[in-house]
Homo-oligomer: A and B are copies of this chain.
Amino acid sequence: MPAQKVNIVDIAKEAGVSISTVSRVLNGKAEEFRISEKSQQKIRETARKLNYVPNQFAANLKSGKSNTIALLIPSLSNPFFADIASEINAEVRNRGYITVIGDSDESNDIENEELMQMQSRNIEGLVIAPCNQNWTDLKKLYDQGLPIVCIDRYFENLDIPFVSTDNYEGAVMATKHLLENGHRNIACIQGVPESVPNKSRIRGYEEAMRAAGIKNYRIVGDEFTVQNGYKEMKLLLQQKERPTAVFTLSNTIAIGCMKALREENLSVPEDISLITFDDHPFLDYLASPLTCVTQPTGEICRIAIKYLFFMLTNKEIKQRQVLLKPELKYRKSVKKIG
């Protein structure tokens, strides 16, 4: 017998008070409106008895407050973003809000659709790692007053605050490390070419290579996926002049590489050196523990949420564009050659 959902009216009747009184008590405004202790108790008690669950939709409709912030990421199945989702979720709950998470699967269309959905749900803030390079919609939202913070991916020339890693620096560190170990023929397998982090990393890689006087380097690939890493590594291995080292721009790509290498019976770092962006608990325990560039994801999330809630409460943000320093975690996937 699907008990009809109880509402505030039922409670009012049962408790013998008015609707408004119920509303105020249940919203903790009893003091403010001087509701007697007796009424308060009565109301709370019947609410519990009737199993009352407030209807957020109705509440939001009237008040405009949804107590919801949205997180929009390109791919939950990417451990980097799964981590972020987990952290943001916890951080947001601590502040009494709830998170709705959207996964755009790296598709512009889905991202836009999700963005719409979230608007429809009157979110009060948005944390996004935009996969769409076309920022007009996002910018419009921001200008309409929706607090937005970009993480990981961002738009350099927009005034939307962002928190990310200094990807350029990270790539320079990684590339230099390879160069210092005598490598000259270094290939780079990238992820989504249009994304800012990817572009910065590529820039870092290129500059480091050119600074070392190397002109002909190879950049291949187009996705932050295992499949992409696998495919591109396979192709690289078919080249006449095999690279002595490979720099992958995500750990998913790195796994793909290892799969390809394993199939060709090549080992890291003996036959080929490997270095990757993004850490992962597993990286330490691989056949050849992978040297990597780690991003401070926890810090990124904390700052992003801090900023978001600053905006929500109209506080000033001193620095709108934050790039945190990555670190090189030395393991054993780079061989000294030459």
> Interface residues, chain A, CB within 8 Å of chain B?
2-3, 51, 53-58, 60-61, 66, 75-77, 79, 82-83, 85-86, 89-90, 93, 98, 100-103, 105, 110, 114, 116-117, 119-122, 140, 143-145, 226, 255, 258-259, 262, 280-282, 284-287
Contacts and interface: CB of A to CB of B under 8 A. Distances in A.
A144 B6 CA distance: 12
5 contacts: A3-B144, A55-B120, A57-B122, A82-B85, A262-B285
A329 B275 CA distance: 28
Given A57-B60, A259-B285, A262-B285, A89 B117 contact: no
A141 to B, nearest CB: 10
Contact of A117 (B90, B98, B105, B259): B98
A82 B101 CA distance: 12
Nearest to A103: B89
Nearest to A5: B144
A90 B262 CA distance: 32
Contacts of A98: 102, 114, 117
Contact of A255 (B117, B255, B281): B281
A145 B2 CA distance: 6
A120 B56 contact: yes
Contacts of A119: 53
Binding site secondary structure of chain A:
helix
A286 B289 CA distance: 8
Contact of A110 (B82, B93, B105, B259): B93
Contacts of A259: 284-285
A226 B2 contact: no
Contacts of A58: 57, 61
A115 B3 CA distance: 18
Given A58-B61, A144-B3, A86 B76 contact: yes
Contacts of A102: 98
Nearest to A93: B110
A255 B54 contact: no
A64 B67 CA distance: 20
Contacts of A145: 2
Contacts of A2: 143-145
Contacts of A144: 2-3
Nearest to A255: B281
B284 A282 contact: no
Given A61-B61, A86-B77, A281 B226 contact: yes
Contact of A55 (B75, B114, B122): B122
A89 B61 contact: no
Given A86-B77, A259-B284, A57 B93 contact: no
A124 to B, nearest CB: 13
Contacts of A280: 282
B75 A86 contact: yes
A105 B90 contact: yes
**Of A66, A77, A102, most B-chain CB atoms within 10 Å:** A77
